[in-house]
Structure 1
Amino acid sequence: MPVTVPPHAPFVTFLDFPHVSDLDSLQADIAIMGLPYGDPYTAAEVTNDQTNAPTAVRRASPRLSLGLDRWDFDIGGTLFNGRDLRVVDVGDVTMRIGDPGGHYRRAEQAARKILGAGARLISIGGDHGVPIPVFRALDVVGPVTLVHIDAHLDWRDEVNGVREGYSSPIRRASEMPHIRRIVQIGMRGQGSARTEEVEAARKWGAEIITAWELQDRGMASVLASIPDGGRYYLTIDADGIDPSVMPAVAAPAPGGVSYRDAIALIKGLCRKGTLVGMDVVEITPERDINEITAIAAGYFILNAIGAIART
């Protein structure tokens, strides 16, 4: 039985990569998966606009590339660099009426099958709660260093009694024994974090690099502080990126990680060791301008594929 299925509307895959729904016999180097549904804090958030983001990124993806044989100046050559790399799109993890929490269980099952098959997992959210089940599945490839781009700290233990919502993913990750190191980049302004969450993150040992510190140090310095030869997972909250690059977010904040620095981080992690997975979350498509946010997310994915092809 397939764990993930495409939506009822005609399904468009990312960059027209083959669609694979049966994960039990998966043969791929990289699998792209949509995770539309988080663990909502209110009824209005069950199907908010962020649930439309995986579809929006896929539909914008033809604007990224006129053909996989074209030279990409961000990547420094063609996408696959002459390698026989198999990239597939496995569709979206569904939410079933009457089982609102079941999508997290199915997401974890899907992630475990993908990682267990030896593929790298690239997910498109959804709010920032959706990587939590993927974090659990990383024990298949752990230990892992979690690298986090965001304007916000995401260390809340609970909000409205919900412990796996979009304000809590890094707190939940810190409780998983296979997550050995956490590096958080781009924090600025105010979010849901209170003094106790900041203190909890520092006590755990999370390395918190504000947007201003990043500008002073540079991404090369941040990468140099991450030990070589590890396994890395990168989670990108769109509001962690400069809003001139990714404006379609629910909580925009001036400043942020530049496009150049985000690409440098993706490439740098692939050079340092193994990027086992990545996600891009918190995109609100109805607020987008000329699809630039969806296109930027697509370029992050494209550059990750290109960097993996060169390692």
Structure 2
Amino acid sequence: MPKPQLISPISSGLPSFLDSERIKRLDQLEGADVAIIGVPYGVPYDVAGMRSPSAPAPSAVRAASRRFTRYLGHYDFDLGGPLFNDRDVRIVDCGDVFMQSGDFAGNASRTEQVVRTIRAHGAVPIILGGDHAIPIPVMRAYDDVGSMAVIQLDAHIDWRHEVNGVTEGLSSPMRRASELSHVGGMAQFGIRGTGSAGKGDVDAALAYGSRLVMAEQIHDQGVASVLDQIPDASSYYVTFDIDGLDPSIAPGVNTPSPGGLTYFQAARLIEAVIQRGKLVGLDIVEIVPDNDVGDMTSFNTARLVLFTIGALAHAGQIGR
């Protein structure tokens, strides 16, 4: 019996992330340090949301990343040295998880299987969403790491138990993460404004022990003042809803909220996590290309992914 299809390789004529090596099968991952994987789906709350507005985002981020390809061997002033710290870093692009319209359980299962396979080959998965439902199956793929801390950058706490009877949608990833036995700590940075959370959701997050860090505190006191909110752990997973950034630099989202993080605030938070322990995965979700202005959101997302890869190399976590 043939194996089920798990990925859809990038079509000929479309760019990979950073024009990196494309793989057509997951057994080609051997020796990869970082594996880019698109998850271009969402879990809708009603019929109107059957096609996620974030479905085109992985392709948009890949296209935007091409602006950086000529500089990969150059000095990066944000990192204080050569971008990859003079290390040989192998980045591969796996294309997208194979999606079937309306098969939400199957899409989630394939996403989990792909992330497990990437990890089994020793690569760090970097996931391009898709909406904020996708970290739910992704984080399930880390049940072998022991105790993993989850770090969220977002305007919203995403702690709803359900919306319209849907328990694994974009308003629930942090609640679902809190229920995983291998998640041992949580901090949520950039919180502000209003969203889907009610008082009961906030109370539940605090009762669990999640550390809620307001965007205003980061602006007023600086990133250094909140780094002690990162829980101690040996492994970290970062989930980044791009509406955590200020809409002046990330307008291409569903729910823009003023007062968001700057590029440097987000970058330094990610860098601090990497300096604290092993980064085992990153997702960036909720980019809506149709709402973008001059591809600014996709461009800044691509730069943050590139910065993360560089920070991993500078920390000695990838490359040789």
Bin for the TM-score computed over the shorter chain: over 0.9
User: Structure 1 residue 53: deviation in Å?
Assistant: 0.4
Match of 1:18 in 2: 21
Is the 8 Å Cα contact of residues 33 and 91 (structure 1) preserved in structure 2?
yes
Q: Is residue 3 of structure 1 aligned with residue 10 of structure 2?
A: no
User: Structure 1 residue 131: deviation in Å?
Assistant: 1.1
User: Structure 1 residue 7: deviation in Å?
Assistant: 5.3
What are the equivalent positions in structure 2 for 1:177-256 lying under 5 Å apart?
177-228=181-232, 230-256=234-260
Letter in 1 for 2:125: L
Is the 8 Å Cα contact of residues 3 and 21 (structure 1) preserved in structure 2?
no
User: Structure 1 residue 75: deviation in Å?
Assistant: 2.5
RMSD of aligned residue pairs (Cα, Å): 1.6
> What is the alpha-carbon distance in structure 2 between the residues aligned to residue 241 and residue 161 of structure 1?
29
Is the 8 Å Cα contact of residues 16 and 22 (structure 2) preserved in structure 1?
yes
What are the equivalent positions in structure 2 for 1:108-147 lying under 5 Å apart?
108-147=112-151
Letter in 1 for 2:20: F
Structure 1 residue matching 2:81: 3-state secondary structure: coil
Letter in 2 for 1:26: L
Match of 1:161 in 2: 165
User: Structure 1 residue 98: deviation in Å?
Assistant: 5.9
Q: 1:194 to 1:98 in 2, by over 3 A?
A: closer
User: Structure 1 residue 225: deviation in Å?
Assistant: 3.2
User: Structure 1 residue 76: deviation in Å?
Assistant: 2.5
Is the 8 Å Cα contact of residues 15 and 62 (structure 1) preserved in structure 2?
yes
User: Structure 1 residue 58: deviation in Å?
Assistant: 0.4
> What is the alpha-carbon distance in structure 1 between the residues aligned to residue 265 and residue 129 of structure 2?
21
Match of 2:40 in 1: 36
Q: How many residues align?
A: 311
User: Structure 1 residue 229: deviation in Å?
Assistant: 5.7
TM-score, length basis structure 2: 0.92
Match of 2:175 in 1: 171
What are the equivalent positions in structure 2 for 1:48-59 lying under 5 Å apart?
48-59=52-63
Superimposed CA distance per residue, residues 249-288 of structure 1 (whole angstroms, 9 cap, x where no aligned partner):
1100000111111110111111111111111111110111
Letter in 2 for 1:280: I
User: Structure 1 residue 8: deviation in Å?
Assistant: 5.1
> What is the alpha-carbon distance in structure 2 between the residues aligned to residue 109 and residue 116 of structure 1?
10
> What is the alpha-carbon distance in structure 2 between the residues aligned to residue 65 and residue 21 of structure 1?
21
> What is the alpha-carbon distance in structure 1 between the residues aligned to residue 295 and residue 68 of structure 2?
11
TM-score, length basis structure 1: 0.95
User: Structure 1 residue 167: deviation in Å?
Assistant: 0.2
Letter in 1 for 2:25: D
Of all paired residues, the percent bearing the same amino acid is 47
Structure 1 residue matching 2:185: 3-state secondary structure: strand
- Aligned structure 1 segments of 4 or more residues deviating by more than 3 angstroms: 7-11
What are the equivalent positions in structure 2 for 1:92-103 lying under 5 Å apart?
92-97=96-101, 99-103=103-107
User: Structure 1 residue 91: deviation in Å?
Assistant: 0.7
Structure 1 residue matching 2:110: 3-state secondary structure: helix
Gapped regions of structure 1 (runs ≥ 5): none
Match of 2:68 in 1: 64
User: Structure 1 residue 115: deviation in Å?
Assistant: 1.4
